[in-house]
């Protein structure tokens, strides 16, 4: 069996962390099994779907390196949905219902008030042809429900949650089509999974109830069930479900300078007992990817942990990997010098400015005499062979200074900063002429 997974975002907004995790899991499982990863744009809601969000989905997935092997759009598949809908209707598995939303709300309130579960009472199935004709003559247009088989217990073996069992008598017949003819999520999704040959449906545990309903749709449509994997939801660092996670978008992460590999490395391991590590590529993650490693407890997402992981990955990046993202003229030597002090690649521009100048020089008036001596020493040393070691050795011998008193005034004068990259690497990059000018306060 060829493994085929799918990621099915709705183009009604930007992708957020939870979406990214679902896309990553589907992409990783397909890649780890030599299978295919399909992008399905769920744009049946014409009023809320926007092309700018479709473009954003493409951009975000490309930035994350999660490129699909195929793409479909639900808005181009209405003919297929109509045909399968008519089949189910002819088989008696779909029926019209005429209650208004207000009437349904009242029914639910009455049931809850009696201590009963708010399950649809199937009143529409008791209507005669004459009843339906009268309602439609009165201008009442029906919505459409899928009739569950109350005698067929719903069961599947979930790759994360284990054996799942649901009694269909405890579930309402789901509405699959609105009165205006537009589709809800449930039926088109099942039809697509069958038509596209989706072998594994991988999504969050908030879809478990949907799966319980869709299992019977697969059967009614004459299809075998895909394999399901429902991963635990993410929680915020405060230990509970966070609204922040629902709005933290890929665009925000990109703008903050987070490396895409950090996002992949973190989200691939969250929810497992495997350590989160700053791996530079996906191969180590793909080799260990297994839904059996995922627990059922909520997975904790911490933006601080992501930022730290991203910085550790930046420290591993070669000049060739980042050259297109660096300021014009910045060299490999400069990248190697500043890389250990960066949290993001974008920060390299600040240190390139320190190297090239001009810099905002720190107040060095208290060390004027010392820096004048440093300038004289810098003028006399051989700049082709470790000038920092030569400079500090001469100054230590001439002034008796050591430690912070020896090094900090030099760093301040040369870079305008109290902290930063190793000066042994920075000083040759600053160069003789700029160094002399800065030591002399110029």
Q: pLDDT tens digits, residue range 31-79?
A: 999 999 999 999 999 999 999 999 999 999 999 999 999 999 999 999 9
Q: No. of H helices and E strands in the chain?
A: 20, 12
Give pLDDT tens digits for 148-194: 999 999 999 999 999 999 999 999 999 999 999 999 999 999 999 99
- Using a 10 angstrom Cβ sphere, with 0-12 exposed, 13-18 middle and 19 or more buried, the burial of residue 307 is middle
Q: How confident is the model at residue 305 (pLDDT cuts 50, 70, 90)?
A: very high
Say which CATH topology domain 80-177 has.
Answer: 3.90.800
CA distance 342 to 258: 12
Do 29 and 289 meet the contact criterion of CB atoms below 8 Å apart?
yes
Q: Whole-angstrom distance between the N-terminal and C-terminal Cα of the chain? A: 72
The answer to whether the annotation marks 402 as part of a ligand binding site is no
| Residue 246: predicted pLDDT | 64
Q: From CA 349, how far away is CA 236, in angstroms rounded?
A: 32
As a CATH number, domain 4-73+185-233 is 3.40.50.620
**pLDDT, averaged across the chain:** 94
Pick the closest to residue 144 from 110, 97, 204, 199 (CA basis): 97
Return the pLDDT at 244. 66
How large is the average pLDDT for residues 281-301? 94
Is residue 310 pLDDT above 80, yes or no? Answer: yes
In tens, the pLDDT along 363-374 reads: 777 888 999 999
- 3-state class percentages of the chain: helix first, strand second, coil last, to nearest 5: 50, 10, 35
CB-CB contact of 298 with 232 (8 Å): yes
For the cut 80, the answer to whether the pLDDT of residue 108 exceeds it is yes
Q: How far, in Å, CA of 136 to CA of 142, rounded?
A: 8
pLDDT digits (tens, 9 = 90+) for 372-387: 999 999 999 999 999 9
For the chain, give the percent of residues with pLDDT over 70.
Answer: 97
Residue 426's pLDDT is 97
Taking the C-alpha atoms of residue 58 and residue 61, their distance in angstroms, rounded to an integer, is 5
The torsion angles phi and psi of 186, rounded to 5 degrees, stand at: -60, -55
User: Which of 245, 305, 244, 239 is closest to 269 using CA atoms?
Assistant: 305
Q: Mind listing the pLDDT tens digit for each residue in 75-98? A: 999 999 999 999 999 999 999 999
Return the CATH number of the domain spanning residue range 243-314. 1.10.1160.10
Pick the closest to residue 147 from 92, 107, 192, 101 (CA basis): 92
Whether the pLDDT of residue 328 is over 90: the answer is yes
pTM comes to 0.91
Give the pLDDT confidence of 221-254 residue by residue, as tens digits: 999 999 999 999 998 876 655 556 667 888 999 9
Residue where the block lists tokens 């200074």? 401
- Band the pLDDT of 335: cuts 50, 70, 90: very high
Confidence at residue 239, expressed as pLDDT on a 0 to 100 scale: 60
């Amino acid at each position: 069996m060829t493994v085929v997974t799918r990621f099915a975002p709705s183009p009604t907004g930007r992708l957020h962390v939870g979406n990214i995790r679902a896309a990553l899991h589907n992409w990783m499982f397909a890649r780890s099994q030599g299978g295919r990863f399909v992008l399905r744009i769920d744009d049946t809601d014409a009023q809320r779907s926007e092309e700018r969000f479709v473009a954003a989905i493409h951009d975000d997935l490309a930035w994350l390196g999660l490129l699909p092997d195929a793409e479909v759009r639900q808005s181009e598949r209405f003919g297929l949905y109509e045909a399968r809908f008519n089949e189910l209707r002819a088989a008696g598995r779909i029926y019209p219902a005429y209650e208004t939303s207000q009437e349904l709300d009242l029914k639910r309130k009455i049931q809850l008030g009696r201590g009963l579960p708010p399950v649809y009472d199937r009143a529409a199935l008791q209507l005669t042809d004459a009843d339906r004709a009268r309602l439609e003559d009165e201008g009442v247009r029906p919505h459409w429900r899928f009739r569950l088989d109350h005698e067929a217990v719903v069961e599947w073996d979930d790759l994360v949650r284990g054996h799942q069992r649901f009694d269909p008598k405890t579930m309402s017949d789901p509405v699959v089509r609105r009165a205006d003819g537009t589709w809800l999520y449930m039926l088109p999704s099942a039809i697509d999974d069958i038509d596209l040959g989706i072998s594994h449906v991988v999504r969050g545990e908030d879809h478990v109830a949907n799966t319980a309903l869709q299992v019977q749709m697969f059967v009614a449509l004459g299809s075998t069930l895909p394999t399901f994997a429902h991963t635990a939801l993410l929680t915020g660092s405060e230990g509970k479900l966070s609204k922040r996670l629902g709005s933290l978008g890929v665009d925000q992460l990109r703008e903050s300078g987070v490396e895409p590999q950090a996002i992949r490395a973190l989200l691939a391991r969250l929810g497992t007992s495997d350590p989160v590590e700053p791996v530079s590529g996906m191969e180590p993650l793909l080799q260990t990817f297994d839904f059996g490693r995922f627990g059922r407890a909520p997975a904790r997402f911490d933006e601080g942990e992501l930022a730290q992981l991203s910085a550790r990955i930046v420290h591993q990046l070669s000049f060739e990997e980042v050259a297109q993202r660096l300021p014009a003229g910045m060299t490999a030597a400069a990248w190697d010098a500043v890389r250990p002090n960066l949290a993001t690649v974008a920060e390299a521009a600040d240190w390139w400015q320190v190297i090239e100048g001009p810099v905002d020089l720190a107040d060095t008036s208290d060390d004027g005499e010392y820096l004048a001596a440093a300038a004289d020493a810098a003028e006399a040393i051989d700049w082709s062979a470790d000038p920092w070691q030569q400079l500090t050795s001469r100054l230590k011998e001439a002034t008796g200074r050591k430690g912070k008193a020896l090094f900090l005034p030099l760093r301040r004068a040369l870079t305008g900063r109290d902290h930063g990259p190793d000066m042994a690497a920075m000083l040759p990059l600053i160069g003789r002429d700029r160094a002399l000018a800065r030591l002399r306060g110029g």
